[in-house]
Structures are given as structure tokens and as C-alpha cells.
Amino acid sequence: MSSSSDTPHHGGSLFSRHQILERSPLLLVLGILVMVAIGGLVEIVPLFYLRSTIETVQGMRPYTPLELAGRNIYVREGCYLCHSQMIRSLRDEVERYGHYSLAAESMYDHPFQWGSKRNGPDLARVGGKYTDAWHVAHLIDPRSVVPQSIMPKYGFLMTTPLETRALVANIETNREVGVPYTDEMVTNAMTDLKAQIAPDSPEAAALLKRYPKAVVRKFNPASPEITEGDAVIAYLQMLGTLVDFKLYDDKANLR
């Protein structure tokens, strides 16, 4: 039989010191709270001096008044329940939908439209993929262009005049939460709204200076007035078109 002197001595080891915590529930809880506090401080303290936690990307801008109105209708009709706007950095995602989504692309969204459910395809890169006429037909009767579609009909958007009474207030509210709308953008909101469907108007050039890459044309030509359909299609035709991903990837590879 081995004597007690043959038993390894761990009195001064780290393991034996750890046993003190294991044998005392109070000390163990205190230790856990200390570690959680340290971890929390590491995550929270930088937020007080970092200007932004989102990497800025060249090309991003606030929504035009018409795009913003279209986005509000998109949210109102619950389109986000079936369409996400976040392409994951997985091969099958990128090959099907395009370049993976960047956090900066949603920096002016309140709320963001990432989503996790796809009864329909992701829309993060839908801008410019289809013609305006396709979008009009798709909204009026989805199965006329996609026979297997389960999407409801939204033909009423093409005949419903766009309500603009709260548009300026909506832009000012977005500015309050960090969207960089300027005084000039707020003052010219109604003019810019009308200019986006009037490409030959002198105001269209001013609109493009304030909102680069804005798509300027009559999206729903069947109606002479601005409809909710115009707004929704303007929003869809903008999605994924602001960032030059070739330039972004070239810069990312240089880091």
C-alpha cells in the first residue's frame, strides 16, 4: 500500500486554488459576475468613443423622397415577411443573388430589412435586374410573369395616389435618428419627389446632385399622377445599385 508521502502534492498548484471557487457557491457566483462585468466593459466602453461601429462604404446615400415613400409602403404591406434583404457570404447565396450584403448598406434603414424567411427571393440586389414594366406586371399579377409564384396581387398600388402629407416629417424624423439628410434635402423634398418621375425636367439634374445614382423616370406610365406603385418600384430599382463592389473588393484586398 502506498504511503501518504507517495501522493502528489498539489497544495500550491493553480488547480487546487480553483477548487476554492468550486467549493464555495458564493465565491463562484462572485467570480462569474466579475468575468461577465469585464466582458461587458470590453464590448460597451468602445461605443463611447467610436464614431461608428459600421464600416463606411463609398456610394451609400440617404433614400430619395420617392424611394423612402416606396420603402414605407414595402414595410406597410409586410413584404419583409417573405423577402429578405441580406445575402450571406456563402457560395450558393452569392452565386444566386450576387455580392454578399454589407452592414453599411443598411445603415440608413430604420428598421433594417435583413430578414430570415424567404418565401420569395432575396431582394438585396434586385435593382436593375428587371425592367419597370416587369415590376408593374409582377405587382399587378405575379403569376403573369412567374407562374409558380405564391405572392399576393398588389395591383391597387398602380392606381392609388401616393400620400405625401407626412413625407417631409418622415425625412426629418430619419434625420433625427442619424440619417444625413441636409437642410437642402428637406427643403426640396417635394420638388425632388416630383422630379424623380420627370427625367426631362430641370429639377431632375438637381435631384441627381443630391442623390447620386437615383433612377429618374416614370415607373408606372399608366397613371399620369404619382402612385404608390411608382414609389415601390423606385425603391426596388435602387436596391443594391449604390455600391461599386469591384472597387470595394479591390480596397478590401489591399488591407
Q: What is the pLDDT of residues 223-252, one digit of tens each?
A: 999 999 999 999 999 999 999 888 777 666
What distance in Å separates the CA atoms of residue 203 and residue 13, rounded to the nearest whole number?
78
Give the model's confidence band at 185: pLDDT under 50 very low, under 70 low, under 90 confident, else very high: very high
- From the CB of residue 60, how many other CB atoms can be counted at a distance below 10 Å? 16
What distance in Å separates the CA atoms of residue 156 and residue 229, rounded to the nearest whole number?
8
Residue 27: its pLDDT value, please?
A: 87
pLDDT tens digits along 6-18:
555 555 576 677 7
Length of the chain: 255
Which residue range(s) make up the domain with 133?
A: 65-77+124-254
What is the percent of the chain where pLDDT is above 90?
74
Total domains in the fold of the chain = 2
Same domain, yes or no: 40 and 134: no
Same domain, yes or no: 40 and 71: no
Q: What is the pTM of this model?
A: 0.80
What distance in Å separates the CA atoms of residue 57 and residue 116, rounded to the nearest whole number?
24
In a domain, 102, yes or no: no
- Predicted confidence (pLDDT) at residue 71 exceeds the cutoff of 90: yes
Specify the higher pLDDT residue, 20 or 62: 62
Same domain, yes or no: 128 and 44: no
Mean of the pLDDT values across residues 9-33?
77
Same domain, yes or no: 73 and 194: yes
In the chain, % helix, strand, coil (3-state, to 5) comes to 50, 0, 50
Residue tagged 441580406 (cell numbers): 86
Furthest-apart CA atoms within the chain: distance in Å: 102
What distance in Å separates the CA atoms of residue 237 and residue 244, rounded to the nearest whole number?
16
Same domain, yes or no: 42 and 166: no
